[in-house]
Structure 1
Amino acid sequence: MSRKKAVAGGIGALSALLVAGTVLAPAASATTQAGDSGVNSAFAISATGLLTIKPTPSVDDSDGFSQESVARLQLPANLLDLHVLNGRAGGGGARASVADLKVGLGVGKPLLTASAIEASCGNGKSSSSLAKADIGGTKLDVAAGPNTAVKVPGVASVELNKQVTHKDGSVTVTAVSINVDGIQKIDLASVTCQPGDDNDGGGDNTPTTTAPSSSKATDPSSTTKPTASSSRNAVVPVGNKPLPNGKAPTPTPVKAHLDVTG
């Protein structure tokens, strides 16, 4: 039996158990459509296809800051084993993470293992990270570039740090997205953030300052020099003023100390 058939068989068997009610996926909160909600949101895992898992735990900030955690999600047949699933949204951003995870998809040896994966967005930035991650026997970088594709021949295609920009400007970042030949899709650690507010208020908020005016140097040649007063306007001591009859005034004696020499 090929590995692809083994994967389909394992997922198909689990799907039958889910329909029969033997295995139940964790109850999830009400979810919002990415890029069409006007809110920031996050979830740790979701699956569509033969196996369906609603976004878990699913949070958004429609009513303010929100955070939820699930201690462990384990499914039989070595399909999934995830620990400490976290999701939080609010404060202008969102973050989702999963610890100590194994994704086997029923093929025996785990397809994906990691000690931790995380995705976050906010303030116009988005990123994801992996810790001690291995996929199909290949070690993965801690910080993969946006939309990094990894092929596992005959089993699945994987996209790391998957980033999608929606029509409304919001951005969805998924740390790990697994696609099994179109029959099964699993998203791990996914967040969606709305575009940031530039707060420009329609005007220019750049503060304006008035530069100090430079003082021009005064040309010395243009400076008005004091002119000597004419004799008519000269100030004459009171004792030396001429009398109304034109006679010379009586001299006013001035007391002084004269040194005597000789």
Structure 2
Amino acid sequence: MSPTAVITGASGGIGAATAESLVKAGYDVVVVARRADRLADLAARTGGRAHRLDVTDATAVAEFAATLDSCDVLVNIAGGAFDASPVATGDPASWLSTYEVNVLGTLHMTQALLPLLGAGAGGTIVNLTSTAASVNYESGGSYSAAKHAAHALSETLRLELAGQPVRIVEIAPGMVHTEEFALNRFHGDRAKADAVYAGVDGPLRAEDVAECVRWAVTLPAHVNIDRLVVRPLAQAAQHKVHRGPIFATTTEEKQP
């Protein structure tokens, strides 16, 4: 019987790439997100199961958990940045929605699935945070605050579950070029979204982060990757991004 992996935020980007990666690794994948049409397409491609779910709705999450017979891996990817405003002028509603999806969504899923994850041989929880969980930057207050909280949740849970067969893994990516992250942050302004990645020779791709998730969860059960920070080579630090050629053949030219 294949182990079961539940992946949130799976309607695109890192979530969808992680689903495809874990299916190839032999997992029975259950993908959840709010956009049912995209989930259906992903399930058709991978052979996984799809469930429309808003992770900020604790009641709906509990009802979803009750439909599962087992869960070996939970990958909390649902999240995102929804503004790029200074703290002085930021919209409190945007801060609240950022916190709800990045932190409370992770909390709801974790609380609902912990009984299954701790059963039998045990399980693994992977929380996708960000380098923004440890380093702040201008106009990133709401997102950074939420990811700091998600980091605190991960670290605290690991302490509280010490002695139980449940691994808590945090993966903190730097610059990842997906189809929607920056576009959502800038409310659909394509020019601003594209400017984030302009001139960067090889930002991370969703598949790169998915490979980090696959590696972490398929290690032997006694090996816990507490925190994995992964950046593109062009991003030496949160505030230090090289814009210009690095490789003899750019990563864009290498893509099929």
Question: Rg larger in 1 or in 2?
Answer: 1
The structure that is strand-richer by fraction is: 1
Which structure exhibits the higher relative contact order, with contacts defined as CA atoms closer than 8 Å and separated by 6 or more residues?
A: 2
Common fold: TM-score over 0.5: no
TM-score (norm 2): 0.31
TM-score (norm 1): 0.31
